[in-house]
Amino acid sequence: MNRRIALGPAAISGVAALAALIFAGWPLPEARATGMQNAAPALLVLNKAESTLAIVDPATLQVLGRVPTGEAPHEIIASADGRLAFVSNYGSAKPGNTISVIDIAARKERRRVDLGPLLRPHGITESGGKIYFTIEGSRAVARYDPASNRVDWLMGTGQSGTHMVVVAPDKNKLYTANTVSGSVTMIRLVDAQGTPSIVQIEAGKGAEGIDISPDGRWLWVAHRGDGGLSIIDTATDKVIETLKAGQQPIRVKFTPDGKRVLVSDAFGGDLIIFDAATRKETKRVQIGSTPVGILIPPDGRRAFVAQSAAGKVAVVNLETLAVDTSIEPGKGPDGMAWAGR
């Protein structure tokens, strides 16, 4: 079941008072300019337990350096040109309210964006040069413009636990999984002259991991609370099928060619591989302790699977479907991103 709602600024749940600031172009502290170098491919791994970003050479799998972030960073995305990384600093006992902007080549934090009353930034992605991120504590999604150093858009979801986020390839829709509400919110992105609309899609208990197919046709959502996977048709924004995945499926990732879907089972210790077309499970790769975040480089030959409790990242060969080796990036690895073309 889904519900379609047209929203005006006054109807944005929990964030109406902030909307005027955002839509006016909320200014953030000015950043100091830093010289850029040519971007080289890099695997970026966040270490939640030590609040660092590890920069890993994807060829040698050696850690090239670590950069301090805000407290308890959870998710990360790189700019399209591979020069900058954007880190959501979720916080631990005290809610976080910052995004770290990191110069990858220089291995230093260029700025820390203060989000003010927007608490617990988590899921983060890039689209059209802008950075979309969830604010779990504020039940909303926002957008940061690196060029102007402004948060220039904000939309409440009206749901609890707004956690992970993806933007459709055509840049017209955004989807976010809401863990507490067990739902997915679709937000249709429009210009300032239009009226935003959202659709609430009932998924499963603890809906969290989310990814969209490369062609934008299908959305897969993992429910860590009931072991299920919802398959959503993005043409209708309705669940067309629910699969049983594992004990605690937590992250979902399509391969770049769209033919396979990888699901990490945090409790069962497996990486579960599905055929995207038939939606049938084809293989389970035993990862070990607490597999969570999944990253697949553009060539689609490997998958990196973070193991938070073990302090490792497993390197899975997607041709042999076996673990080749592992990386030790730091304490509590989770969110990952690929920088460079």
Cα distance between residue 132 and residue 166, in whole Å = 8
Task: Give the contacts of 320 (CB within 8 A, at least 6 positions apart).
Answer: none
Alpha-carbon distances, residue 37 vs 34, 110, 227, 297 (angstroms): 10, 14, 44, 22
Assigned CATH for 2-6+18-23+41-339 = 2.130.10.10
Report the amino acid identity of residue 4.
R
Amino acid at 167: V
In the three-class reduction of DSSP (H, G, I as helix; E, B as strand; rest coil), residue 216 is classed as: coil
- Domain residue ranges in the chain: 2-6+18-23+41-339
Instruction: Give the predicted TM-score (pTM) of the model.
Output: 0.90
| Residue at token pair 């491919």 | 41
**pLDDT tens for the 341 residues of the chain, in order:** 555 443 433 334 445 445 444 444 444 544 333 334 456 899 999 999 999 999 999 999 999 999 999 999 999 999 999 999 999 999 999 999 999 999 999 999 999 999 999 999 999 999 999 999 999 999 999 999 999 999 999 999 999 999 999 999 999 999 999 999 999 999 998 655 566 789 999 999 999 999 999 999 999 999 999 999 999 999 999 999 999 999 999 999 999 999 999 999 999 999 999 999 999 999 999 999 899 999 999 999 999 999 999 999 999 999 999 999 999 999 999 999 999 86
Q: How far apart are CA 341 and CA 108, in angstroms?
A: 21
